[in-house]
Amino acid sequence: MFRKYVLFLTTAAFVVVIDQITKAFVSSAMSLHESIVVIGSFFNITYVRNPGAAFGFLATAGPTFRSVFFLSVTVAAILLILYYLSRSMRKELLLIFSLSLILGGASGNLIDRMRYGEVVDFLDVYIASYHWPTFNVADASISLGAALLVLQMVRDKSKGEEHHA
């Protein structure tokens, strides 16, 4: 049981630390909207600030509403993650790892929202003129955690179907 929590907390803390270090470096080393080409026609480091969520969701809403909304959603997500963690088995490492990635990412972005009222983004992936919305380490962690969570659910479902066949 103890190993489950060590894995969970270590992974979540690692994500938060890497996320905050990379955001601090970009914020201090670059000017807002400055862009550095890393891989031409594919990947730049571009310093932007996002007052909304993924894909600019709620970016035009008032700052007070955004603050209350994002704080509430993040706290609810953290409570849900902790609930699922408490119900998980020690052997469900993929589930524990995925939940820790999501928690670490959510916490990293929450820190930005509390400090700046917006999130620092800088990873800019594109092909020619088609851009994916700029994101950060926390966003990547949340996305990877969610994908792994779906994988875990598919595996669990297929195991359940094998036992019923």
In degrees and rounded to multiples of 5, residue 31 shows phi and psi of -90, 150
Task: Please give the Cα distance from 19 to 3 (Å, whole number).
Answer: 24
Which of 19, 112, 121, 124 is catalytic? The answer is 121
Is 112 catalytic? The answer is no
Q: 13-32 burial, b for 16+ CB within 10 Å, e for fewer?
A: eebbeebbebbeebbeeeee
Q: Which of 19, 112, 124, 139 is catalytic?
A: 139
Q: Is 19 a residue of the active site? A: no
Query: Measuring CA to CA, how many Å separate 79 from each of 67, 75, 86?
Result: 18, 6, 11
* Residues with catalytic function: 121, 139
